[in-house]
Structure 1
Amino acid sequence: MGVGIRAAGEDDRELVVRLLDEAFQDDPVSGWVFPEREYRRTTHHRLMAAFTDIVLAEGRIDVTEDGTACALWLSMPAADDGPDGGDGGDGGDEGDDAVRLRESVDPANARVEEIARLMAESHPADRAHEYLWMIGVAPARQGEGLGSALVQHVLDRCDREGLPAYLEASSERSTKLYERLGFTYADRTLDIPDGPRMWPMWREPVTGRDRP
């Protein structure tokens, strides 16, 4: 039996924030950004809300019909297709975005800004692609294939349209899921200073697949 998937709207904002907050409470990167457990419980949801608002405005959020899992996607143009029409600029926009993110989420926490800068700087810019920013599954429903179904839902479109896909896995355990979906390691890891490692992964579109 397949997993029902729909596009989220503004009415789903609180659902998505809650799913991400619960799913990422014990994530290594979230633990680095908010190292004190009690503070993380009371503050982490603000970061998830900021991410949700960005993707609701600029990308697409898919949710399972039963509301137990969600995936956040952005369509990324190649650098020379961007509004500056050139080499992607000097990173100033990304830096300003990182500052605004910190100020809106946790103004005294420099790590909010730092993680945003690191991820922006490591993002591939030479080819247009679909970017899986985050995927969250309710803890009680993890291991049931919901995450795989959400990702494959977009990868099928990527294959039809000839688009690659990109993500940063935040744990070695999660890389196994993405490998099964056709992602492979990029040529480097993203090593957070005095913190965990992230694994950028890339997937080329699959061509010649039989489709209904």
Structure 2
Amino acid sequence: MSKPLEEHQQALAQLSAHAFADDPITSWIYESLSDRTQLLAQGFQFAFMEGISNDTALAAFIDDTVVGAALWHEHTHVDKKVIPDSPFTQRLQAVEEATNARHPMFNHLYVPVVAVHREHHRQGIGGTLISAILAVSDVQKKPVYLEASSHENRSFYQRYGFRNHGNPIIIEKHGPVLYPMLYS
């Protein structure tokens, strides 16, 4: 595991897009789009560009292949506005509004992405990525907040000391559920 370089940005974005393609939240946002992975990769490309330049991205490698990725940043209460001109942008805005409303009001690190290549699940890569972020939080003396998108992910984060942080976040009626979690 190491800090990724700019040359890894596309591989990190592709890995994350594939890891999140079947996620309940992204499946709900991009409900019927056949190009979900491509749209996710575009968003992750920008996120990893920012993370690499801010030194808040991690990559796990086997040989020279990216098999894991993570992003974190200090949370600010700046609302990102999405112009609701299509069903997917309306849903994206609904997720952003619901999650922004539930972030802790105190200074914390936010983890929006932990992704591991499907062929490398259950090999300790995700745990290594989370442990590295928790080490940063310990040095900075800041708690870490994230939203788990499934019971399986929630159980994973609990093994690393995350606890539930309030009630689940329900995104609109009949929408997906997120589980806010905090490590402190």
Q: Same fold (TM over 0.5)?
A: yes
**Structure 1 segment 93-132 matched on structure 2, within 5 A:** 93-94=78-79, 97-99=80-82, 109-126=89-106, 128-132=107-111
Change (3 A) 1:187 1:157: same
- Residues 1:163 and 2:142 aligned together: yes
The answer to whether the 8 A contact 1:98-1:117 is kept is: no
RMSD between aligned residues: 2.4
User: Counterpart of 1:82?
Assistant: none
Moved over 4 A (4+): none
Structure 1 residues 57, 120: closer, same or farther in 2, change over 3 A? farther
Matched with 2:41 is: 45
Using structure 2 for the length normalisation, give the TM-score.
0.86
How far has the Cα of 1:42 moved from its partner? 4.2
Question: Following TM superposition, by how much is the alpha carbon of 1:177 offset from its aligned partner in structure 2, in angstroms?
Answer: 0.8
Return the TM-score normalized by structure 1.
Answer: 0.75
CA distance, structure 2, for counterparts of residue 157 and residue 56 of structure 1: 15
Q: Partner residue of 1:209?
A: none
Q: For residue 166 of structure 1, give the secondary structure of its aligned residue in structure 2.
A: strand
Unpaired segments ≥5 residues, structure 1: 78-87, 205-212
Structure 2 CA distance, aligned partners of 1:110 and 1:39? 18
SS at match of 1:144: coil
- Of residues 18, 31, 34, the one that matches 2:30 is 34
Identity of aligned residues (%): 23
**1:27-79 residue CA offsets vs partner (Å, 9 max, x unmatched):** 000110011152424433233334334434556110013310011010236xx
Partner amino acid, structure 2, of 1:170: S
Q: Does 1:173 align with 2:156?
A: no
Alignment of 1:6 with 2:2, yes or no, is yes
